[in-house]
A and B are shown apart, each in its own frame.
Chain A
Amino acid sequence: MKHVAILQFPGTNCDLDTKYAFEKLGCTTTIIWHKESKLPQNADLVVVPGGFSYGDYLRSGAIAKFSPIMSAVEEFAKNGGQVLGICNGFQILTEVGLLPGALKRNIGLHFISKFQTLKVVNNSNSFLQQCDKDEVLNIPIAHADGNYYIDEEAFKELEANEQILLRYSDAKGEPIIVNGSVTSIAGVCNKNKNVFGLMPHPERALETILGSKDGIKMLEGLIA
């Protein structure tokens, strides 16, 4: 049975949804308060969940990067451990430098909360291994700072290494502008493909009655 460590900062609000999701998929979980300096020894996956860590003060994710637990997460990732950042977790992982790029205010300045279709760009990684390339998934988004920026040179590298995970798209998989992200990017991974970040919330897409269960195959990839 896989064990998932879920971080909790002041202002995190998706920790319990994330716990519910991974327990539903048959994992055991521990919620780790950000003041801790160690991760559970048996952790197979670390999830930095969504929310508003430190009220998004200064910049989303900026202050969380100095929480004691983050050094342990960096160490865990450096040793090849899998790390997933969802929404605010994605912002934190870019601030820490575990993922390339940065997330800016949405182009329309609004907080966007809705179901959004996404196209799977690359599945040559554990996270999206259960999805088909070019498959269109339906996953909720809920963010104000999801406008992904990366400079041209780093973008080329991202593309060449198949680090782009998902793009905002229409139902046919054509990229669309949702928040102003560079080439509609919704999620990326690091070069070693063990650190993943995305703005959409797969943990909120687990049951048909709530709109979609497309999140299951994403999360399952990480614990397969």
Chain B
Amino acid sequence: MTAIVNIFLKQGVLDPQGKAIHHALDAMNFEGVEDVRMGKQIVLKLTSDNKEEAQKEVEKMAEEILANTVIEDYTIELL
């Protein structure tokens, strides 16, 4: 099973990299972009086939190391 963990700065926490990308898009005349948030994606190949178990395990990984929950939120997608 594959787990995809997406990590973004929390809403309300200023994202300097997203802001820089937004400025660049503006400078290139791409109109209609309201906001840009930049995050990271971590793809884990798991040995387990049990979705429930995997969800629990990956959540633990996200809480303990993959994300810093003081400033970041994460989502987990299992494929």
Bound form: Cα–Cα A62–B70 in Å: 13
Which stretch (A76-84, A101-109, A123-131, A198-206) binds chain B?
A101-109
Q: Smallest CB–CB gap between A103 and chain B, Å?
A: 9
**Contact of A105 with B17 in the complex, beta carbons under 8 Å:** yes
Judging by beta carbons under 8 Å apart, are A109 and B20 in contact?
yes
Docked-complex contact B71 and A180, CB < 8 angstroms: no
A58 and B66 within 8 A (CB): yes
| Residue B65 lies at the interface, judged by CB distance under 8 Å to chain A | yes
Contacting pair B16 A106 (CB below 8 A):
yes
- Inside 8 A of A66's CB, which chain B residues have their CB? 65
Within 8 A of A (CB), among B43-75: 65-66, 68, 70-71
Contacts of A62 in B (CB 8 A): 65, 68
Least distance between B78 CB and chain A CB atoms (Å): 21
- Give the docked Cα–Cα distance between A101 and B68 (Å): 10
Closest to A108 in B: B16
A59 interfacial by beta-carbon distance below 8 Å: yes
Give the most central of A59, A62, A106, A107: most B CB within 10 Å.
Answer: A59
Q: Are B66 and A107 in contact (CB under 8 A)?
A: no
Query: Closest CB-CB distance, A98 to chain B, in whole Å?
Result: 13
* 25 A–B contacts, CB within 8 A, in A order: A58-B65, A59-B68, A62-B68, A63-B65, A65-B65, A66-B65, A95-B68, A101-B70, A102-B68, A102-B70, A104-B9, A104-B13, A104-B71, A105-B16, A107-B14, A107-B16, A109-B16, A109-B17, A109-B20, A149-B70, A149-B71, A150-B70, A151-B70, A180-B14, A180-B16
Interface residues of B (CB under 8 A from A): 9, 13-14, 16-17, 20, 65-66, 68, 70-71
Beyond A63-B65, A149-B70, list 19 extra A-B contacts (CB 8 Å): A58-B66, A59-B68, A62-B65, A95-B68, A102-B70, A104-B9, A104-B14, A104-B16, A104-B71, A105-B17, A106-B16, A108-B16, A109-B17, A109-B20, A149-B13, A149-B71, A150-B70, A180-B14, A180-B16
